[in-house]
Amino acid sequence: MHTVSDLKNNISFEDFKTEVLNDYKIAVKSRECSLLGRREVLTGKAKFGIFGDGKEVPQLAMAKAFKKGDWRSGYYRDQTFMMAIDELTAEQFFAGLYANTNLELEPMSAGRQMGGHFVTHSLNNDGSWKDLTKKYNSSADISPTAGQMPRLLGLAQASKIFRNVEGINTSNFSVNGNEVAWGTIGNASTSEGLFFETINAAGVLQVPLIVSVWDDEYGISVHAKHQTTKENISEILKGFQRNEDQKGFEILRVHGWNYPNLVETYQEAAHIARTEHVPVLIHVTELTQPQGHSTSGSHERYKSAERLAWESALDCNVKMREWIIENGIATNETLIEIERAIKREVREAKKNAWNIFLKPVLKEQSDMISVLKQVAAASVNRVFIEKIKDNLAAIEEPTRKDILSHGRRALIHTINESFPEKEQLINWINNRIEAIQPEFSSHLYSETNRSNTLIKEIKPTYNEESPLVDGRIILRDNFDNIFSNYPEVLIFGEDTGNIGDVNQGLEGLQEKYGELRVADVGIREATIIGQGIGMSLRGLRPIAEIQYLDYILYALQIISDDLATTHYRTKGKQKAPLIIRTRGHRLEGIWHSGSQMGGILHLTRGVNVLVPRNMTKAAGFYNTLLKGDDPAIVIECLNGYRLKEKMPYNLNAIQTPIGVVETLKEGTDITLVSYGSTLRIVEQVAKDLLTVDINAEVIDVQSLMPFDLNHDIAKSIKKTNRLLIIDEDVPGGASAYILNNILNVQNAYQYLDSQPKTLTAKDHRPAYGNDGDYFSKPSADDIFEAVYGIMHESNPDVFPKLR
């Protein structure tokens, strides 16, 4: 049970004893879960185990200072903390270890993540927000080392925004910005750049953030002397320590086995962060790892006998037990009784979790055996099917894979037969796959009525007085409308604030809306994205600007591992509808080529990737995204900011649909598919092709993820029977992704009379200058000749060879 206490004042000795013993019970329960959990992995019931043993007591102290409304962004060993705030039971712990796909039984991820990764539920079943101010909150953990740090920054910054920006409806999200964001990390992971980037950014932003470094001196088998200068992270971070003249961090140190000092330290840290809104680092030293890093190996291989003896003596649970007896809180006999009772409780929880997990699987096994028995009786291959049935029956603790695999193998033996029992087997297999597959595949995107793909298109309208303006003006005025109508929206990035971004798409908006809503940040792409993730988890609608598409590589790991998986790995119980704004396409030179599209598409499933051809389309995307729940990357065309566009009469209302293509030119001879800046070249070539009697249909993809949900490209190919995809990405990149969708999802191969082709950039990135671009990416000449070549192959008499 979670308690917030003062161990020195306003509490009777009896109450004090009760609280301490309650904490000790949680520590013992957590340790017993770790010990039994390791055994379950080694016996094969669970696949892998990484546990929080050795970190129990400091996590109890952290839980005491953690208040409702606060947020955790943690390390995958914080099971004791989660138990202390009543968000994890022993039975749920084992359900996670067994990867139970029932969210009610395994609320941390419904079996989508290994044990040790924790979360609390922020959303109701319809996707609406719970009241986060009245509950303890934990953002969903990820495994990548230090990957939790950028998100932590955003969780803390949200409190600063809620406290200082007027007009935001803070119901369900904040009480005067008093919430603290708590981060945890292993000492070895502080070697990661993400840790240092976050520490620096938090010091600059001055946000209420507390980072606990659990220091057991090892990173798997590698000692701290190989990890950290001076073998001491707080020592080398002394330059971040605040003083009377300079802002920075408050840095505290405490031994991880000293229960009263830990409680006092965490209360002090919480007071500083909560009242002064400054970041705090707590370096928790002299911790141990009794079972080693994980079930993948034994720490006896790399720790000396002296170190192992030291760890046994300094085990935080052992030291807390000694302190309890020394201070007359309980006798040894009383503690033995407590420990025995808890061991029985945990063993029973393990047993219950396993039986509940296995029960429906055993029922399916029984059903499959019954079906196979009937199939065998009716088949000429009875002997083979009987053997498969018997093999399945011999498995005492089957998996669903075992059951379905045996059924599918049996089906092979009936290929040339037809009888009712075979149909029964086919139906059973199909029905089970259809029922079970969503348990592993659902919620990559929102499945509520706030899915981005459900937001309907509102086309721009014009009148005779609609002026021609630079594309950047359309963006600027649309952002102005957004900031006026959505007080929870803020944008931040490199050069975003004072100068209104490098292309003046935000010109004058910082002066109008303030430095917190239109903000400049340092050169630190990973934590720019982290700011956005954390704030969106708390109900704000951030737009994180990455100056150029190429720079997104610095943040790609965070986008891929954290943002793209948030909704999926929580099975719809958390959402992070972050909008990432960037710019690319048709640039000159290696570093501004926009040739990362294929990598982005393959690494960011779970995020919409939108490629508007002009700024009106881009403005419409931003308007659409703010009405939906899915995160997105909007890639504006860098060479479109100064191109003239008509100013829509209904600018603030336009909505560009997501997952919908647009046909820009009707045609009958060939379908040309492209996106972004390259599309303007394709449009011009389509006009040139008319001079040689080739009538091309031109389609703007608009949205790469999701892709053409209405299958309009297949409908076009059915008419033209030919396809050319033009893409500035490298071969096998976005063009391969587009082609795969057209052929394997839309099944457009059946309409083709010619080989579908792609015209892409070269394998390398473009060299600098106009000639570099011409010889590296598809030019108008390349496109014309590629189309003509397809037509020549089809009808060489009408279209003789060009060159």
Of 283, 406, 592, 711, which one is the catalytic site residue?
A: 592
Please name the amino acid found at residue 543.
I
For residue 705, what are its two tokens?
């993820």
Query: Do the beta carbons of residue 550 and residue 594 sit within 8 Å?
Result: yes
Neighbours of 644 (CB within 10 A): 11
> CA-to-CA distance for 340 and 338, rounded, in angstroms?
6
Contacts for 661-665: CB closer than 8 Å, 24+ residues apart: 661/699, 661/700, 661/701, 661/702, 661/703, 661/708, 661/710, 661/712, 661/713, 662/699, 662/700, 662/702, 663/697, 663/698, 663/699, 663/700, 663/712, 663/716, 664/698, 664/699, 664/700, 665/696, 665/697, 665/698
Range in 87-101, 438-452, 453-467, 589-603 with the lowest mean pLDDT: 589-603
pLDDT at 472 over 80: yes
Residue 373: C-alpha distances to residues 134, 278, 370, 386 (Å)? 55, 69, 5, 7
Q: Are 641 and 503 in contact (CB under 8 A)?
A: yes
pLDDT for 589 beyond 90: no
Residue 423 makes CB contacts below 8 A (sequence gap 6+) with none
**What count of other Cβ atoms lies within 10 Å of the Cβ of residue 706?**
18
Cβ partners under 8 Å of residue 418, min gap 6? none
CA distances from 18 to 8, 55, 81, 335, 803 (A): 14, 22, 19, 13, 90
Whether the per-residue pLDDT at 457 is higher than 60: the answer is yes
| Each residue's pLDDT tens digit, 126-153 | 999 999 999 999 999 999 999 999 999 9
- Spatial contact of 376 and 382, defined as CB atoms under 8 Å apart: yes
Checking if the pLDDT of 588 tops 80, the result is: no
Lowest-pLDDT range of 249-263, 293-307, 434-448, 480-494: 293-307
Confidence tier at 2 by pLDDT (50, 70, 90): very low
What integer pLDDT is reported at residue 6 of this predicted model? 52
At residue 765, the pLDDT reads 87
The pLDDT of residue 368? 98
The answer to whether 188 and 218 have CB atoms below 8 angstroms apart is: yes
Model confidence pLDDT, tens digit, residues 402-437: 999 999 999 999 999 999 999 999 999 999 999 999
- Quick one: average pLDDT of 621-649? 97
Residues forming beta bridges with residue 519, ordered by sequence position:
492
Statement: residue 602 has pLDDT above 60:
yes
H/E stretch holding 332 reads helix 332-378
- pLDDT value of residue 130: 98
At 541, which helix (H) or strand (E)? Answer: strand 541-545
Distance CA 784, CA 684 (A): 10
Residue 165 neighbours by CB under 8 Å, 6+ apart = 487, 490, 514, 516, 517
- Angle, to 10 degrees, between the axis of helix 305-314 and the axis of helix 316-326? 40
Question: For residue 784, what are its two tokens?
Answer: 């014309």
| Nearest residue to 38 (alpha-carbon basis) of 107, 111, 94 | 94
Q: pLDDT tens across 682-725, in order?
A: 999 999 999 999 999 999 999 999 999 999 999 999 999 999 99
Average pLDDT for residues 486-504, to the nearest whole number?
97
Nearest to 656 by CA among 717, 700, 604: 700
What confidence tens digit (pLDDT) does each residue in 246-287 have?
999 999 999 999 999 999 999 999 999 999 999 999 999 999
Classify each residue of 432-446 as buried b or exposed e, where b means 16 or more C-beta atoms within 10 Å of its C-beta. beeeeeebeeebebb
Residues 6+ apart with CB under 8 A from 577: 536, 541, 625, 628, 629, 630, 631
User: Which element (helix H / strand E) includes 46?
Assistant: none
The answer to whether residue 592 is catalytic is: yes
pLDDT exceeding 70 applies to what percent of the chain?
99
Q: What DSSP designation does 66 have? A: -
- pLDDT score recorded for residue 768: 86
Identify the pLDDT of residue 7: 52
Confidence of residue 4 (pLDDT cuts 50, 70, 90): very low
- Amino acid code (one letter) for 763: D
Task: Look up the pTM and report it.
Answer: 0.96
Q: What's the pLDDT score for residue 314?
A: 96
pLDDT of amino acid 453: 98
CA-nearest of 85, 110, 723 to 439 is: 110
Average pLDDT, the chain: 96
Residues 20-67: pLDDT tens digits? Answer: 999 999 999 999 999 999 999 999 999 898 899 999 999 999 999 999
- Rounded to the nearest 10 degrees, the angle between the axes of helix 525-537 and helix 148-164 is 60
pLDDT band, residue 651 (cuts 50/70/90) = very high
Whether 8 has a pLDDT exceeding 70, the answer reads: no
pLDDT, tens digit (0-9, with 9 covering 90-100), for 176-220: 999 999 999 999 999 999 999 999 999 999 999 999 999 999 998
Distance (Å, rounded) from C-alpha 673 to C-alpha 291? 56
CA 747 to chain centre: 31
Query: pLDDT-based confidence at 9, cuts 50/70/90?
Result: low
The angle, 0 to 180 degrees and rounded to 10, between the axes of the packed helices 332-378 and 13-42 is 30
Sign, Cα dihedral of 85, 88, 89, 90: negative
Task: Characterize the bridge pairing of strands 644-646 and 468-470.
Answer: antiparallel
User: Could you give the percent of the chain with pLDDT greater than 90?
Assistant: 93
Return the structure tokens found at 293: 């890093």
